[in-house]
Amino acid sequence: MGYFDAASSAPLHPVARQALLASLDEGWADPARLYREGRRARMLLDAAREAAAEAVGCRADELVFTSSGTRAVHAGIAGALGGRHRVGRHLIVSAVEHSSVLHAADAHEAGGGSVTQIEVDRQGRVTPASYADALRPDTALACLQSANHEVGTEQPVAEVAAVCRKSGVPLLVDAAQSLGWGPVGGDWSLLTASAHKWGGPSGVGLLVVRKGVRFVSQGPADERESGRAAGFENLPGIVAAAASLRAVRAEAEQEAVRLRELTERIRVRVPRSVPDVEVVGDPERRLPGIVTFSCLYVDGETLLHELDREGFSVSSGSSCTSSTLTPSHVLKAMGVLSEGNVRVSLPMGTPEEDVERFLAVLPAAVTGVREKLGAPVPAATVQQDDALVVDALGKRCPIPVIELAKVIGDVPVGGTVRVLSDDEAARLDIPAWCEMRGQEYVGEEPADHGAAYVVRRVS
C-alpha cells in the first residue's frame, strides 16, 4: 500500500510510539502538583518543552503546548490581535494560508476588524513588497505560512519578517508543514505547528510567542501553559510529539535529498506519460515530499477513488470533492487548473518501489476516468450571432471544460465560444484551460441561472 498523504497527517513515527507508551506509565499525574508523581510528570513536561524549543529555535518559556495546530493558530492570532488592539484592528494574511488562519481572519472581520489578503503568483508565492504595501498604521498582525500545504511552495518568511519588523508589526508563521524539516528562519514574532504533521500524535500543537511581543490571551483565564492554552496538558502526547520532532530532525537532511529526487521524478514523468497535465507549485523552492498536478478533463474525486483501488492514498485540492464542492482556495488564488487535482505528499521512508508503481498505474487510471467522462449527456450548442454557445448548466466540472474542448475547433480563428455554467469551479477552470491550450479567455458575463464564460479561438 502506498500512503501518499503525509501533508494531511504523517504516519506515527516509531520514536513517538515508544515515547507515548512510556509516558502513559510515567506521566499520568498532574504536573502542577508537588508530590512525587506530580514532580515526575513536571520533569517530563519540562524536558519535552526544552526539546521542542531547541527544535524551533526559541526559548523554552516562549513555547506552550496546545490541543492542536488549529487551536494554536486561533489562540495565536486572537492573542496577538488582543495585545495590540490599541494600535488597530487590521490583519494581513496571504490568500493561500491554511483554512485555520483564514477562518480566524473571517471571524476577526465579522467582529469589526479589517483584513487584507495578499495575492500570490502562479507558483503560489507571495512577495515581500506586497506585504510592505499592505502595512498600515493600524496593522496589528501579519500572518504567513512557511510552506504551502497543498502545493509545497516555500514562502519568503525571513524577508517578510524583516519588512514587518521594520514597521513594528509582529509576524505569525504557520510552520505546520515545514517544522519537521528544519527551523523557520527570520525574525518572526509568533509561530504555530502541529505534531501529527511530522509523525507525532494528533491532538498536540505548538504556539511560540517571542519575548517582547504584546499578547493577551482571549477567553477565561487558566493557570496552565502560561495562561495561553487552557486545560489539562496531554502529557503523553506532548512527550511523544517532542521526541518524534527530535527524531525526524535527525533524519531530515538525508531524507530530504531522497524525497526530493522521488518528487522530482513524479514532476517530470507524469506530464510525459499523461497528456494534458499541469504540475503546479514552485519547482525549486518547495518542500521535499510534496508534488501536485492537475489533469484536464478529469473529475478529481473519481480519480482519487481509482487510485485508492490501486492501493494509493492521495488527496486532492480539486473543485470536485465530496466535502466542499468548491474550488480549492489555494489553486484559485494561484490561478491554476483545479480539476483533476492530485496532491502526492510522501512520508519519510517512502520506498522508491511505491513511487515507481504509482507512476505505472496513474496513466491508466486517468485514461479510465477520462473515458467515463468523455461521453456525457451532450451539451446543447447553438449559434448566437458570431459566437457558439455551449449550455453546460447543471453539469459539474470538468464537464463544462470537456464540452468547450469539443467545440473550440468548430469556430473559426477569431471566433468565440460562450460556455454557460452554474458550477463555481468553471470560473477557475475555464481560464486555466485557456492558459494551457493557448486560447484567449475574454471574460465572464452574467447569464440566467449562472454565468457565461467567453473564450476566443486563437489557434
The model's pLDDT over 281-295, given as tens digits with 9 standing for 90+, comes to 999 999 999 999 999
Q: What is the pLDDT of residues 53-79, one digit of tens each?
A: 999 999 999 999 999 999 999 999 999
Cα–Cα distance, 303 to 298 (Å, whole number): 7
Q: Angle CA(319)–CA(324)–CA(325) in degrees, nearest 5?
A: 45
| pLDDT for 376 | 38
DSSP, res 186: S
397 pLDDT band, cuts 50/70/90, is: confident
| pLDDT for 414 | 85
Q: What Å distances lie between residue 435 and 122, 262, 448, CA to CA? A: 11, 28, 26
Cα radius of gyration (the chain): 24
| pLDDT for 43 | 96
CB 95 within 8 A of CB 215: no
Return the minimum-mean-pLDDT range out of 123-137, 150-164, 340-354, 379-393.
379-393
Q: What Å distances lie between residue 161 and 119, 166, 170, CA to CA? A: 17, 9, 8
432 pLDDT band, cuts 50/70/90, is: confident
DSSP, res 185: P
123 pLDDT band, cuts 50/70/90, is: very high
CB 421 within 8 A of CB 404: no
For helices 352-373 and 300-309, give the axis angle rounded to 10 degrees. Answer: 130
Task: Residue 167: count other Cβ atoms within 10 Å of its Cβ.
Answer: 13
Task: Residue 199: count other Cβ atoms within 10 Å of its Cβ.
Answer: 27
Cα–Cα distance, 318 to 330 (Å, whole number): 10
Catalytic residue among 58, 295, 320, 434: 320
**3-state class (DSSP) for residue 206:** strand
Considering the entire predicted model, what is its pTM?
0.87
CB 253 within 8 A of CB 247: no
Task: Residue 336: count other Cβ atoms within 10 Å of its Cβ.
Answer: 28
Q: What is the pLDDT of residues 205-231, one digit of tens each?
A: 999 999 999 999 988 888 788 888 888
Q: How many residues does the chain have?
A: 459
Cα–Cα distance, 40 to 56 (Å, whole number): 25
Task: Decide: residue 258, CB within 10 A, 0-12 exposed, 13-18 middle, 19+ buried.
Answer: middle
173 pLDDT band, cuts 50/70/90, is: very high
- What φ, ψ does residue 122 adopt, rounded to 5°? -70, -10
Quick check: is 434 catalytic? no
Per-residue pLDDT averaged across 314-334, rounded? Answer: 71
166 pLDDT band, cuts 50/70/90, is: very high
Flag whether pLDDT at 354 surpasses 50: yes
Question: What is the amino acid identity at position 409?
Answer: G
Q: What Å distances lie between residue 48 and 215, 222, 244, 397, CA to CA? A: 23, 21, 10, 48
Which H or E element spans position 129? helix 128-134
Q: Residue 208 pairs with which residues in a beta bridge?
A: 63, 191
| pLDDT for 377 | 39
Cα–Cα distance, 236 to 260 (Å, whole number): 33
Per-residue pLDDT averaged across 123-151, rounded? Answer: 97
380 pLDDT band, cuts 50/70/90, is: very low
Per-residue pLDDT averaged across 412-418, rounded? Answer: 89
CB 145 within 8 A of CB 287: no
Nearest in space to 252 (alpha carbons), one of 214, 199, 305: 199
What rounded mean pLDDT belongs to the chain?
A: 91
Beta strands 387-391 and 341-345, pairing class = unpaired
* C-alpha cell, 193: 505547528
Nearest in space to 320 (alpha carbons), one of 294, 338, 293: 338
Task: Decide: residue 313, CB within 10 A, 0-12 exposed, 13-18 middle, 19+ buried.
Answer: middle
